[in-house]
């Protein structure tokens, strides 16, 4: 969908006001690109969320911008190649959109970050994060997601925590040189990721406090935390100093807000009152298929953004 700019000139003031009001009425709900159409918070869709409105990946971003979204995120950005990354970054800059997270380190299936602290392994972590930051530079990404990996049932959890802290310090040193922020994402055991080490916000808070780096913060995915611990707003407030990024999805189902039990209108209002200027990643699926389902996602965010 092409972005539209409406320019009115040579019209009497009263006629211009009436005509502008008519145009506004026609474009509401159709995706006007005017500033008044922008969401209050930086909600970030991802590729595939609007694929029935725009098949081409970059056109999906253009469509999202027309709907008033001002951010985008893509977990798999490191795998997309430098040519696409450059085109992607240029488009976001043109549309004045902010790049959200991509996954820079994923330890699914491994407990190495909780059990290894030798030089060879830490050199591997430095190299991995250095490579990830090449992607971050190309796409202007301030944040990237780190999933430490699986718990080791043969070692006390406190020892594993200490090892993880030491390894994250190594990675944070790399990130600090580019003022990049790796965000640690606690994930739930009960519906999606059984056996992962990092599960709850208080746990992530204590780890970030121990690492003590501006480049090591929390990604608070409220879908996961509703399942793991609930108490969303109080935990958010207690860990606020260490939270750099939010993602959302309703529960049960991990679909758009308004389809489950989480009151996202209250949560978004709370974020706004606290002065949150960061991104809210739309880390969920669509509850319905086709264009109607995609419009339902947009409508849900309009409803919850109306605070």
pLDDT tens-digit readout, 258-291: 999 999 999 999 999 999 999 999 999 999 999 9
Distance of alpha carbon 141 from alpha carbon 223, whole angstroms: 23
Banded pLDDT at 36 (limits 50, 70, 90): low
Average pLDDT for 68-75: 98
pLDDT at 21 > cutoff 90: no
Percent of the chain whose predicted confidence (pLDDT) is above 90: 88
Of 29-33, 83-87, 257-261, 291-295, the least confident: 29-33
Backbone angles phi, psi at 177, to 5 degrees: -65, -25
**Closest alpha carbon to 160 in 110, 113, 199, 193:** 113
Residue 159 in tokens: 């020892």
Per-residue pLDDT at 130: 98
Task: Give the model's confidence band at 240: pLDDT under 50 very low, under 70 low, under 90 confident, else very high.
Answer: very high
pLDDT above 80 (res 31): no
Q: Mean of the pLDDT values across residues 179-203?
A: 98
- CB-based contacts of 250, cutoff 8 Å, min separation 6: 223, 256, 257, 258, 259, 260, 261, 262, 264, 284
| pLDDT for residue 20 | 37
Taken in order of first residue, the domains within the chain and their CATH numbers are 1-32 (no CATH), 38-304 (3.20.20.150)
Q: What is the pTM of this model?
A: 0.89
Determine the Cα–Cα distance for residues 160 and 110; give it in Å rounded to an integer. 13
Q: Give the integer Cα–Cα distance in Å for 280 and 26.
A: 28
* The predicted structure's pLDDT at residue 205: 99
- Residues 1, 66 contacting (CB under 8 angstroms): yes
- Judge contact between 193 and 158, C-beta under 8 A: no
| The pLDDT of residue 30 is above 80 | no
| Average predicted confidence (pLDDT) for the chain | 91
Q: Choose between 8 and 131: higher pLDDT.
A: 131
Average pLDDT over residues 86-114: 98
Q: What mean pLDDT do residues 175-194 have?
A: 98
- Per-residue pLDDT for 17 more than 50? no
């Amino acid at each position: 969908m092409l972005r539209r700019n409406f320019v009115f000139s040579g019209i009497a003031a009263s006629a211009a006001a009436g005509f502008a009001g008519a145009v506004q009425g026609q474009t509401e709900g159709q995706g006007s690109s005017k500033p008044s159409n922008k969401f209050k918070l930086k909600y970030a869709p991802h590729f595939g969320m609007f694929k029935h409105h725009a098949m081409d990946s970059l056109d999906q971003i253009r469509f999202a911008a027309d709907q008033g979204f001002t951010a985008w995120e893509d977990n798999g950005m490191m795998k997309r190649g430098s040519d696409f990354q450059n085109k992607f970054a240029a488009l976001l800059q043109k549309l004045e959109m902010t790049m959200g997270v991509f996954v820079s380190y994923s330890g699914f299936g491994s407990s190495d970050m909780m059990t290894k602290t030798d030089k060879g392994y830490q050199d591997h972590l430095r190299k991995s994060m250095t490579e990830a930051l090449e992607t971050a530079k190309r796409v202007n990404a301030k944040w990237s997601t780190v999933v430490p990996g699986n718990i080791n049932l043969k070692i006390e959890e406190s020892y594993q925590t200490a090892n993880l802290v030491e390894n994250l310090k190594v990675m944070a040193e790399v990130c600090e040189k580019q003022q990049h922020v790796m965000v640690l994402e606690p994930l739930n055991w009960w519906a999606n990721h059984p056996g992962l080490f990092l599960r709850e916000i208080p746990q992530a808070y204590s780890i970030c406090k121990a690492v003590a780096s501006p480049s090591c913060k929390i990604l608070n995915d409220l879908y996961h935390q509703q399942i793991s611990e609930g108490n969303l707003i109080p935990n958010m407030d207690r860990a606020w100093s260490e939270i750099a990024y939010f993602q959302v999805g309703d529960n049960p189902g991990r679909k758009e807000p308004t389809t489950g039990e989480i009151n996202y209108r209250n949560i978004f209002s709370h974020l706004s009152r606290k002065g949150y200027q960061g991104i809210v990643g739309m880390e969920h699926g669509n509850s319905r298929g086709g264009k109607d389902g995609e419009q339902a996602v947009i409508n849900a965010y309009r409803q919850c953004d109306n605070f």
